[in-house]
Chains A and B, each alone.
Chain A
Amino acid sequence: MSESVLKVQSLTKKIGKATIVDNVSFEIKSNEIFGLLGPNGAGKTTIIRMITGLINRTGGTVMINGSDLDHDFEGAMNELGAIVENPEFYKYMTGRKNILHYARMSSNDISNERIEEVIKLVKLDHAIDKKVKTYSLGMRQRLGVAQAILHKPSLLIFDEPTNGLDPQGIREFRDYLKVLASEGVGILISSHLLSEMQLMCDSFAVIEKGKLIHTKEHIVDEKTETINEVSFTVSGGKLAKKILQEQFADITILKYDSKTISVSATREQTANINRSFIENQLDVYEIGITRKSLEDKFFEITEQEMRESV
């Protein structure tokens, strides 16, 4: 059983009459990479600032690894590692001194071996004794990861972590996340880059206008009745079309030619179609499933929300 490393309940932020964040609740377990999605200005950063204690909450509670932010601020903060927005460092100091600076601020004793280990992990060993002002953005991001994981926190928060990173940097970052999550850390990432998030996150929440409008849907969830685009490569396209029209009248045929036929079908329906094809002496060489991208899902959700609100 994985335990909850972050529990946010009824998080609310009001500035004057405007409600920036409205009654948001979610939970992140260890080993989980959780994406906070939403368009710019939806309130993602405000939520993250409230969780990290950088701004006051109007209402709601934040528990980090079982410590309440209000009652045990220091305990909660020691379980947190984060890069809030851009990874900013003391540019006039070396990377090593920056790391030492944050190591000293932990409640845990951080050994020199641990510092070396983290520097190696983020592949900065060649540049760690250079001043941070000579670092590229990618290197600063890696230094950011180093200072965040130094004290082995149970929760990591990265706000728009891939901003300004090149594709290689993004890929490296993704790999770190997977490794960290496999070691038992819970990770919260905010982003407006949906395709990025799809590759990184196990589950996600969609924020719009300060409200949580969708949560905890696993991006790859085999049990749900999600309709996928399924394409069958068969020995005869015409026969396949005939079988579908006769036996599966409710299934939409997206396209077909002599060798392939594409339909919209659920997981269950895909199995049934396959059985029918075989029973009708049709050879099935390949079944391909094009899963709905997070982007499609995101627009589906936000558009639905918009229709409802009209």
Chain B
Amino acid sequence: MMSLVKNEWMKIFSKVSTYIFIAFLLLAALGAAVIDYKLSPDETNKDWKQELNADIQEQEKALEAKEISEEEKAAIMDDINYNKQLLADNINPDLNTNWTYMAEWTTSLTSFVTLFVVIVCSSLVSSEFSDGTIKQLLIRPYKRWKILLSKYITSLLFAALLLASLLIFSYLIGIIFFGNGSYSDKIMDPASFDFSPVVVGEYFVDMIVYWIPGFLVITTIAFMLSTLFKNQALAVGISIFILFASSTLNMVIQSFIGKYEWLKFVLFPHLDLRGYISGTIEMFDGATLGFSMGVLGIYYLIFLALTFFFFQKKISLIK
């Protein structure tokens, strides 16, 4: 089995596109750091408490102005509360370290990891068919399920490699641009509406850890599609379509979920578990992390079973 995985790994890394994907992750992390650096104040502001107090005073003055609408009033009130909360929790809003950079940017750059992994995994099996190499692959002393399993293991390893690359690139670039900040610095929870402080490092780790199950399932879907289609381009195209359509579908499903109970069991709302981190937003009635993990787990097993089933079907139709 080791030698089969080695073979698959060799095939992936014999393609130029693989190196382009990794280089792109590096460039994306670099680009994000440059943007973040330009946007941030020139130096770490030591008098941030005084500035916040000054801001609050200005905002309170603005409230007393006469020609102000109710809406504007509410917005200003929110700002005041936010700034007061920052002061109360001793949180520097201008804080910019490698951890704040990663919490803000790397957590979004993971979508590129998904995209590249989907592209590579959805061609892992289909390309053997479209290149005609499948016949040479199957007349070897290995049972067919072992050959397929080795490809699946390889796709998981590749997914892990791309994620690790992004994390390592971001961490190092973050240190270079913003210096090595403290893991335990506090920031306001960006995902939460009521102002609650979180530890930046923990927030970042949570954002990655809660993202992984959905990523695993999407990788598995892409791999399944690669066994379903003989045409490599079709497999890749449909995988990417599902990837992009899933967020739209998710919104549609969420808006109907109150009406139709069974929509709870559709895959899409559960693909992104990051909504559970702060625990403040309820996706729908009765949505819990356990429930979502359960639904994901069942889909995962179904997809894997289908993958091995499709592969057996497919190889019996070799032309």
- Determine whether the beta carbon of A88 is less than 8 Å from that of B316: no
Is A97 in contact with chain B by the CB < 8 A criterion? yes
Interface residues of A in 96-118 (CB under 8 A from B): 97, 100-102, 104-107
- Determine whether the beta carbon of A93 is less than 8 Å from that of B142: no
Is A154 in contact with chain B by the CB < 8 A criterion? no
Q: In this complex, which of B140, B143, B315 has the most chain A Cβ atoms within 10 angstroms of its Cβ?
A: B140
Residues in B neighbouring A78, C-beta threshold 8 A: 141
Interface residues of A in 69-121 (CB under 8 A from B): 73-75, 77-78, 80, 82-86, 88-93, 97, 100-102, 104-107
Residues in A neighbouring B6, C-beta threshold 8 A: 104
Is A53 in contact with chain B by the CB < 8 A criterion? yes
Known contacts A49-B318, A74-B143, A77-B141; A93/B11 CB under 8 A: yes
Interface residues of B in 67-92 (CB under 8 A from A): none
The tally of residues in A whose CB lies under 8 Å from a CB in B reads: 32
Residues in B neighbouring A83, C-beta threshold 8 A: 136
From A53, A74, A75, A102, give the contact of B136 (CB < 8 A): A102
- Determine whether the beta carbon of B14 is less than 8 Å from that of A97: yes
B interface residue count range (under 10 / 10 to 19 / 20 to 34 / 35 or more): 20 to 34
- Determine whether the beta carbon of B10 is less than 8 Å from that of A97: yes
From A55, A56, A77, A85, give the contact of B140 (CB < 8 A): A77
- Determine whether the beta carbon of A74 is less than 8 Å from that of B10: no
B154 to chain A, nearest CB (A): 13
Q: How far is the CA of A74 from the CA of B139 in the complex (A)?
A: 9
Q: How far is the CA of A135 from the CA of B45 in the complex (A)?
A: 64
Is B7 in contact with chain A by the CB < 8 A criterion? yes
Of B127-135, B208-216, B229-237, the one touching chain A:
B127-135
Is B46 in contact with chain A by the CB < 8 A criterion? no
- Determine whether the beta carbon of A105 is less than 8 Å from that of B14: no
Q: How far is the CA of A105 from the CA of B142 in the complex (A)?
A: 8
Q: How far is the CA of A52 from the CA of B135 in the complex (A)?
A: 9
- Determine whether the beta carbon of B135 is less than 8 Å from that of A91: no
Q: How far is the CA of A54 from the CA of B129 in the complex (A)?
A: 13
* 11 A-B pairs whose Cβ atoms sit less than 8 Å apart in the complex: A53-B138, A54-B139, A55-B318, A73-B141, A73-B143, A77-B140, A88-B136, A92-B16, A102-B140, A104-B7, A105-B142
**9 tightest Cβ-Cβ pairs between the two chains A and B:** A88-B132, A78-B141, A104-B3, A77-B141, A74-B141, A105-B140, A93-B14, A84-B135, A107-B141
Q: Knowing that A88-B131, A93-B11, A104-B7 are A-B contacts, what are 20 other residue pairs whose CB atoms are under 8 Å apart, sorted by A's residue number?
A: A53-B138, A54-B139, A54-B318, A55-B316, A73-B141, A75-B141, A80-B139, A82-B139, A86-B132, A89-B133, A90-B131, A97-B14, A101-B7, A104-B6, A105-B3, A105-B4, A105-B140, A105-B142, A106-B141, A107-B141
